[in-house]
Amino acid sequence: MTGPQFHKLFGGEPRPHGSEPQSREADLAASIQVVLEEVMVRSAADLRRSSGQSALCLGGGVALNCVANGRLLAEGIFDDVWVQPAAGDAGAAVGAALWAHYEVLGGSRQANPNDSMSGAFLGPSFSSDEVRNWLDSIAVPYRHVPSSKERLGEVAQRIDAGEVVGWFCGRMEFGPRALGHRSILADPRSPSVQSRLNGLVKERAAFRPFAPAVLAEHSAAWFEHAGELPYMTFTSQLRGEHWLEPAPAAATHSLVQQVQEVRSSVPAVTHVNHSARVQTVDHSRNPEFAALLETYFELTGCPVVLNTSFNARDEPIVCTPADALATFRRIGLDLLVLEDCLVESAS
């Protein structure tokens, strides 16, 4: 997205894809982020003064910058900030539908204090019978585990053992974030799982952290922001009691190695500054995923699970059981949960 004038001003062209970032790239990224945050904060303050409104609703691609959203929330300019979970071009469909309902069809408009997006679980779903009939038709071995307690117990144990799980459950999320229906799940406490997921699964820079999904009732004990953050659209600071003092970095350590130093009890989901892109999970929006987190908490004492989107690099999030099986096989996950069916890795 940059051109010759940008390259001339900032000392050269972008680094080759796949190469390790250096301090130049880190400094540029940090500086651009600071400028963006300042623009958003000043715009929000001006909007608050001119409108007199106490709540802010954000949409558009920039509203997916969860770090800037977290800064805006922390500034306290508005009493409440809500980000459309499908912010970006795709989310314009929601605005178009609302406009048609109110302006063309004359629908009544009433303020609703609850979440009318239904957790953003607005996509297609597949029943257990559909999944089993399809697996039988293509002769894929699987175990049918209809008992929720037994199934969730095994998945929690596998995550605790360091395995990476593809999780396919219920209606697909609308938007760019996997929120526990089309997700890849792993142990956030593992120092190595971040590198494994970035390198083998996502094929992206090794330093990039993943998002923590946390039981809503435990969120305030782990993160500074105590309110609901159901859509993974804000960052929040990890509370200090979960920080760890990193080992002294060797002088020969690269920038990426320094960033990957273990600084918290959940290193796979926290960044170098102890921030995290938090998703709070509750039973009303997301009952099955919340039940899994509860089971994991009972097993480990940790109410947090690493949650990232179920897709390979440059591909959309999986939608159908066929998508999930193909991606599961291609990126080398350990276990695939398709509703109440468990498919093992072939390796």
DSSP string, 187-216: -TT-TTHHHHIIIIII-S-TT---EEEEEG
Choice among 52-61, 147-156, 197-206, 239-248 with the minimum mean pLDDT: 197-206
CA gap 180, 310 in Å, rounded: 10
- Residue 91 shares a structural domain with residue 136: no
Residue 63, in any domain of the structure: yes
Number of H helices, E strands in the chain: 11, 12
Output the six-digit token pair for 326.
């193909």
**Quick one: DSSP state of residue 12?**
S
Q: Are residues 37 and 74 in the same domain?
A: yes
Kindly state whether residues 109 and 132 are assigned to the same domain.
no
DSSP codes of every residue in 73-123: HHHTSSSEEEE-TTTTTTTHHHHHHHHIIIIIS-------SS-TTGGG--S
Alpha-carbon span 103 to 35, nearest angstrom:
37
The residue from 87, 113, 139 where one domain ends is 113
Domain end (from 59, 85, 113)? 113
In a shared domain, residues 84 and 164: no
Q: What is the pLDDT of residue 174?
A: 93
Q: Which residue has the tokens 């782990």?
A: 222
Residue 80, in any domain of the structure: yes
Quick check: is 258 in a domain?
Answer: yes
pLDDT of residue 136: 98
Q: Reduced to 3 DSSP states, what percent helix, strand and coil does the chain have, rounded to the nearest 5?
A: 40, 15, 45
157 shares its domain with 103: no
- 309 and 173 Cβ atoms separated by less than 8 Å: no
Residues 181-226 have pLDDT tens digits of 999 999 999 988 888 888 877 777 766 779 999 999 999 999 999 8
pLDDT in tens, 303-347: 999 999 999 988 999 999 999 999 999 999 999 999 999 999 975
Element (H, E) at 25: helix 23-51
For 303, the domain range is: 128-344
Which tens digits make up the pLDDT trace of 126-141? 999 999 999 999 999 9
- In this prediction, what percent of the chain has a pLDDT beyond 70? 98
Is residue 11 in some structural domain? Answer: no
Percentage of residues in the chain with pLDDT exceeding 90?
75
**Half-sphere exposure of residue 137: CA atoms within 13 angstroms, side-chain side:** 8
One domain for residues 106 and 138: no
- The structure's pTM equals 0.92
3-state secondary structure of 307: strand
Residues 70 and 195 in one domain: no
Domain boundary among 85, 113, 141: 113
Report the pLDDT value the prediction gives residue 22, as an integer from 0 to 100.
84
**What average pLDDT does this structure show over 285-298?**
97
pLDDT of 154 strictly over 60:
yes
Q: Measured between alpha carbons, how far is 290 from 53 in angstroms, rounded to an integer? A: 34
State the residue for tokens 């071009």.
89
Cβ–Cβ under 8 Å, residues 62 and 72: no
Q: Is the residue at 139 inside a domain?
A: yes
Residues 90 and 135 in one domain: no
Residue 302, C-beta contacts closer than 8 angstroms, at least 6 positions apart: 188, 189, 265, 266, 296
Buried residues in 33-61 as b, exposed as e (16+ CB within 10 A): eeeebeebbeebeeeeeeeeeeebebbee
Same domain flag for 103 and 135: no
| CATH code of the domain containing 257 | 3.90.870.20
Ranges 169-173, 251-255, 281-285: which has the least confidence: 251-255
pLDDT at 107 over 80: yes
Q: Which residues is 308 bridged to in the sheet? A: 184
Average pLDDT value over all residues in the chain: 92
* Residues 26 and 151 reside in one and the same domain: no
**Maximum pairwise Cα distance, the chain:** 67
- Whether residue 260 sits in one domain with residue 151: yes
CB-based contact 281:183 (threshold 8 Å): no
Q: Read off the DSSP letter of residue 223.
A: B
Question: Are 90 and 199 members of one domain?
Answer: no
The count of structural domains within the chain is: 2
**Residue 206 has what pLDDT?**
67
